[in-house]
Structure 1
């Protein structure tokens, strides 16, 4: 299904952004003057006037690091580099992909509102706004750590939510997550697929996201757009997610289609998102518009996509205040996810907070972070050899593999289901005698299935 603007041949809403299409894409310039980089594109989202070489020097890399990395990466152009490349720690943020999955919970009150809402179309307005809200955090240009097989992340003190995520497969990297409170359950199986293009990488979210609203048992399915990370090596790294996000009410057939505008000349269209909530007959009922880094609003519309007479454009979501000049562009919620202060009682030893490489990077010790990252990766390879020698398969603790294989726009996905055991564990931990509590920072990171594997 095309974007709302393609499906609506006329109307106020379609005209709102028709002028943006003339801008085309962001300014591309080739670094032709730099030895060994002929034809490598630097994409400036602001359409600046400086030449490509000047723009290319504005990245976070030192000259020697950038040159060495580029020589190493040239052979991977066109490949999926999700787990086949060892990356330098200087491009990482002190967070893992499992923690980044939990960032979807920041504005979970929108799902609470969706559950409480009786209007089926407004229900999708709230739920879709929740799905859009995480993109402010996703624009960060630092790479999160890939989770170790068996690694977990748990959050148990935000909006009544209990959240658990686990790395269920190493190659291809796959994660599973589950969250719930009194209003909803959230289940995701995620398998990223990438395509390295030289100075950029396309990221395809090969995943299945399902939200069940508890009051009426409504099931929502989410398909997000792909993401492009620009200027990986040369220039200022920035993120764009042009394309469609589709959320479908599998119970009623209603859906919302939101179109992320691609970044145009001089930044035109960047961050903008708009679309419609449709009923099961694919008739537009509510228009939605805004910027994924600022706010979203909605307004009832007629069958032509025009706002209904007498109706008003109303804001449904607005990004929360963020720390000024934060080194890693973190939100207050991201800092909360990393904090030991928010760790639940009897934190699992496999929790991402405990990773020594993540913790060292958070403290600013890049040398130790790099050494610890290498040590964890070697231990993971040793465990794989041990498992293969015993002809054993890794068994996740909190999620079970199913026979279900679901199609996605970017390939088939093997689905994992939450097995319910974590809620039992958390209930037992929360009811235990607190007098025996230990300092969580003293817990040694331990996601390993085998305790005595040699890395020699």
Structure 2
């Protein structure tokens, strides 16, 4: 694993680590000894069915990356340009199938026993990859996950929906995410499960995907399956979707029976490299790789006391800022996005600027 530490001018330090990818070489790097015993100890006083949203994890259970970074990496850390493929499709159906493939590519293998840092309010992640500029901002204190403890497993439901807009085609694609199942006993493991719906109101096309783990209590079995269908506004099935999200996924044309591969995980999410800092002075203090740099360094060096103190300092500062805002009767306002409440009871966000500027951190093309 490569770690990049640059930009120490004026106290700014950036720590970047290799993204999650198809290879599993990061497992041993981040996993501490006796991880299962430590996890059981962590949950010994937690009742089944409990919401774990406010459970404070020590750095032993973190890897050196923010959840905000993980979301960003699922977009820009690909070995093939899947987003351009979405935009370059000649027909609406071809573009839709490419969007389905891109959505599947954001599903990455995870590491049992560790999770990313929970982003702080106002945290940002700004990265460029070729002509693609990505900017994320944490706009809510509330985590996007709702983890619940079920005795021998933890299930995390990812709330909210993602939107992908192809502006030159006038098409918007809306999709949810699968659930994360962390199995503790009898055999530890992490799998994605549940249903994902992808829809485009402008074309009427819809995909229904199901992430399946067929293993029995974690023993062997055929895992990481994905099955589904793509149909039009009249509910006519156009394609049948089948495969494994960590291998290949195919679509079968129901008209002529032809089968083709729309997603190859080895081609898309293997051999991913650590992003680099091109302009250290241009990195914002709110950048994820800056906010969590001290704690990340502690984790990488397995200096758990340093990691704990650094993480506590970040979280205590956030509590202090929150109390100050409350005392002044102020409401925090995002810097890069406009947040509005939706009719469904949730909220929507839209960027303030039309274009994202090039970033000081770059990912390899």
Structure 2 counterpart SS, 1:267: coil
Residue of structure 2 aligned with 1:245, choices 191, 196, 202: 196
Q: How does 1:325-404 map to 2 (within 5 A)?
A: 332-333=271-272, 336=274, 339-341=275-277, 346-354=282-290, 355=292, 356-404=294-342
Partner Cα distance (2:286, 2:302) in 1: 22
Which residue does 1:95 correspond to in 2?
Answer: 65
Partner Cα distance (2:289, 2:270) in 1: 17
Please report how far the alpha carbon of residue 381 of structure 1 lies from its aligned counterpart in structure 2 after TM superposition.
Answer: 1.2
Which residue does 1:109 correspond to in 2?
Answer: 81
Residue of structure 2 aligned with 1:224, choices 148, 168, 177: 177
Partner Cα distance (2:56, 2:199) in 1: 38
Asked whether the 8 Å contact 1:222–1:248 carries over to 2, the reply is: yes
TM-score (norm. length: structure 1):
0.65
Which residue does 2:21 correspond to in 1?
Answer: none
Which residue does 2:236 correspond to in 1?
Answer: 283
Which residue does 1:70 correspond to in 2?
Answer: 43
Please report how far the alpha carbon of residue 397 of structure 1 lies from its aligned counterpart in structure 2 after TM superposition.
Answer: 0.7
Deviation string 1:57-93 (CA, Å, 9 cap, x unpaired) is x99536874564233x425x423222x1111211111
Structure 2 counterpart SS, 1:320: helix
Q: How does 1:159-170 map to 2 (within 5 A)?
A: 159-170=130-141
Deviation string 1:389-416 (CA, Å, 9 cap, x unpaired) is 111111111112113244xxxxx42222
Which residue does 1:318 correspond to in 2?
Answer: 264
Deviation string 1:231-287 (CA, Å, 9 cap, x unpaired) is 1xx565322222221110111111111122233334333111122211111111122
Asked whether the 8 Å contact 2:124–2:137 carries over to 1, the reply is: yes
Larger relative contact order (CA 8 Å, sep ≥ 6): 2
**Runs of at least 5 residues in structure 2 that lack an aligned partner in the other structure:** 1-30
Which residue does 1:11 correspond to in 2?
Answer: none
Structure 1 counterpart SS, 2:240: strand
Please report how far the alpha carbon of residue 114 of structure 1 lies from its aligned counterpart in structure 2 after TM superposition.
Answer: 2.0
Structure 2 counterpart SS, 1:215: helix
Please report how far the alpha carbon of residue 422 of structure 1 lies from its aligned counterpart in structure 2 after TM superposition.
Answer: 7.2
Asked whether the 8 Å contact 1:260–1:271 carries over to 2, the reply is: yes
Q: How does 1:72-221 map to 2 (within 5 A)?
A: 73-75=45-47, 77-82=48-53, 84-105=54-75, 106-107=77-78, 109-138=81-110, 141-156=113-128, 158-170=129-141, 172-173=142-143, 191-221=144-174
Deviation string 1:149-169 (CA, Å, 9 cap, x unpaired) is 11111111x142111111112
Deviation string 1:351-410 (CA, Å, 9 cap, x unpaired) is 11112212332343322111111111111111111111111111111112113244xxxx
Asked whether the 8 Å contact 1:219–1:249 carries over to 2, the reply is: yes
Asked whether the 8 Å contact 1:104–1:131 carries over to 2, the reply is: no
Deviation string 1:132-178 (CA, Å, 9 cap, x unpaired) is 1122344665200001111111111x1421111111121x23xxxxx
Which residue does 1:413 correspond to in 2?
Answer: 346
| Closer, same or farther: CA 286–271 of 1 in aligned 2, 3 Å | same
Partner Cα distance (2:189, 2:40) in 1: 20
Please report how far the alpha carbon of residue 421 of structure 1 lies from its aligned counterpart in structure 2 after TM superposition.
Answer: 7.3
Asked whether the 8 Å contact 2:183–2:189 carries over to 1, the reply is: yes
Partner Cα distance (2:192, 2:35) in 1: 28
Which residue does 1:37 correspond to in 2?
Answer: none
Asked whether the 8 Å contact 2:39–2:113 carries over to 1, the reply is: no
Deviation string 1:317-367 (CA, Å, 9 cap, x unpaired) is 212379xxxxxxx9643x52xx44367761111111112212332343322
Asked whether the 8 Å contact 1:59–1:235 carries over to 2, the reply is: no
TM-score (norm. length: structure 2):
0.80
* Corresponding residue pairs, total: 325
Structure 2 counterpart SS, 1:111: helix
Structure 2 counterpart SS, 1:169: coil
